[in-house]
Structure 1
Amino acid sequence: MSIQMNGNSDPVARLRSYIADGGFTQGVRLPPERHLTDELGMTRATLRKALGALERDGVIWRHVGKGTFIADGSPQAPSNATVELGRQLTPFRMMRARMAIEPAIAREAAVNASGDTQMRMQRALERSKAAATWREYEIQDDIFHRTVAEASDNLLLLTLFDQLNGVRRAVAWGNVTRRSAQPSPDHSSFAEHDAIAAAIANRDPVAAYESMRGHLRSVSQRLFGEG
């Protein structure tokens, strides 16, 4: 398999794109490292650092002697500091933090998004709408929001998003009741995500900010009855 590099110099983003473009799904083994270094145009040391980053994010898991596999989307255990911070936050406070930070990231994405990140946003949207289970939807939802952060083209903002996301995973959410096996075709997040992606594609920072804020307020409303 051959992929287009799209000028992306970030090894982690390049590896993520390779996985997404290659259609690798849960449980599938990635090619050997010697093959990946040729495909991705990076040294083995750089590749291993990128693999380590994706393993920490829960995207892949590695088994000595067997290879590297695509994970099921379940996050890896967060660090002790993240767990401790998560214990001190309520889900409502977590959502308030997201509303303070993610709209600003979306605004930067509208200014700086590359064609590659926009294509990956659209792919995540399409896959979320085709999800057969809530778990599949949540994986694509996570990919969409992280790709927005990548589109900001600001390593500090991306790192901040990853830290925020790690704390979100550590917050005790309890059991979320689902009334169906999968999202309905009129699930409100679909249109909200479309609006965010459209604003970014249109290079409209104000609309991107407001669309992301509106989306997070909608999620907060569904979870807590207030936004």
Structure 2
Amino acid sequence: MAGGVKAFEQHLTAELDSGRLASGARLPTERSWCEQFDISRGTVRRVLAKLSERGLITQVKGSGTFVSMASPHGPAIEKLYTSPAELMEARLLIEPLMPALIVRNANAHDFQLMQECLLHSERAETVDEFERWDGELHRSFALATHNSLFLHILELTNRVREEGEWGRLKMQSLTPERQQQYVRQHRAIYEALLNRDMEQSKALMIVHLKQIQQNLFGA
């Protein structure tokens, strides 16, 4: 394969665009890119940083680089028309089922990815930034089930979250106090999963989702 920074960037972008690199997939090491394209590690890092800024990949310190589950590229999913209220009803039925599989199947990488999403959400300075990493965290839960159906379901629900009506409701309801409450709830869910406590993590997930529902709709 031809070398050089341009060839590397074009190759990696094409892999992401085509969907050949699936959501959550781990990318090869920086060293392997250097050897394959005859480029320096600094060059590799600059290209990866550019793709990370575009939201195409997620870099997890000490673990590696992964295809972002929020990537705008990859196989298209048909637009789903549903209301935020219907979305929350579905989430309350579906997401509390995930802890049983996470507790059984999650590995060290899965927990590292959750931790990275948590840290980003805790440092978020805007509603949009928090919403992005909130979605990424829930995707990381789905990924940790190691069940492709859950991942596809979460991809669909996050497509609905990207629509204007959800964003408007979230903007109106998300006060700084509520954002911090969500952060604490996320952290508690993560710790229960890390401890392989299925019942506790399920209960915390339900409390979290019901709190979102109440804050959005007053129900």
Q: Which TM-score band (shorter chain)?
A: 0.5 to 0.7
SS at match of 2:24: helix
Aligned counterpart, 1:188: 181
SS at match of 2:146: coil
CA RMSD of aligned residues (A): 3.8
Deviations 1:40-87 (A, max 9, x none): 9xxxxxxxxx97xx6xx652569xxxxxxxxxxxxx98524x2xxx2x
Counterpart of 1:163, as a letter, is L
- Aligned: 1:175 with 2:187: no
Aligned counterpart, 2:205: 212
Residue 26 (structure 1) aligned to one of 53, 59, 65 = 53
Q: When the two structures are superposed, what TM-score results if normalisation uses the length of structure 1?
A: 0.63
**What are the ranges of 5 or more consecutive residues in structure 2 without an aligned counterpart?**
1-20, 30-44, 58-63
Matches within 5 A, 1:15-54: 15=26, 25-27=52-54
**2:138 and 2:154 in contact (8 A); partners too:** no
Deviations 1:181-225 (A, max 9, x none): 984596210111011101110101111111111110010010011
Counterpart of 1:119, as a letter, is Q
Q: What's the CA shift for 1:111?
A: 1.9
Instruction: Tell me the distance in 1 between the aligned counterparts of 2:28 and 2:171.
Output: 31
**2:55 and 2:70 in contact (8 A); partners too:** no
Aligned counterpart, 2:146: 153
**1:105 and 1:149 in contact (8 A); partners too:** yes
Q: What's the CA shift for 1:150?
A: 0.6
> Cα distance 1:136–1:104, how it changes in 2: closer, same or farther (>3 A)?
same
Aligned counterpart, 1:98: 91
Instruction: Tell me the distance in 2 between the aligned counterparts of 1:29 and 1:177.
Output: 24
Q: What's the CA shift for 1:166?
A: 2.9
Instruction: Tell me the distance in 2 between the aligned counterparts of 1:142 and 1:105.
Output: 15
**1:95 and 1:216 in contact (8 A); partners too:** yes
Residue 14 (structure 1) aligned to one of 25, 28, 32 = 25
SS at match of 2:168: coil
> Cα distance 1:58–1:147, how it changes in 2: closer, same or farther (>3 A)?
closer
How many aligned positions are there? 175
- Aligned: 1:165 with 2:161: no
> Cα distance 1:108–1:117, how it changes in 2: closer, same or farther (>3 A)?
same
Instruction: Tell me the distance in 1 between the aligned counterparts of 2:98 and 2:115.
Output: 18
Instruction: Tell me the distance in 1 between the aligned counterparts of 2:178 and 2:216.
Output: 19
> Cα distance 1:17–1:198, how it changes in 2: closer, same or farther (>3 A)?
farther
Q: When the two structures are superposed, what TM-score results if normalisation uses the length of structure 2?
A: 0.65
Aligned counterpart, 2:135: 142
Instruction: Tell me the distance in 1 between the aligned counterparts of 2:171 and 2:194.
Output: 32
**2:23 and 2:71 in contact (8 A); partners too:** no
> Cα distance 1:186–1:61, how it changes in 2: closer, same or farther (>3 A)?
closer
Instruction: Tell me the distance in 2 between the aligned counterparts of 1:29 and 1:118.
Output: 20
- Aligned: 1:79 with 2:78: yes
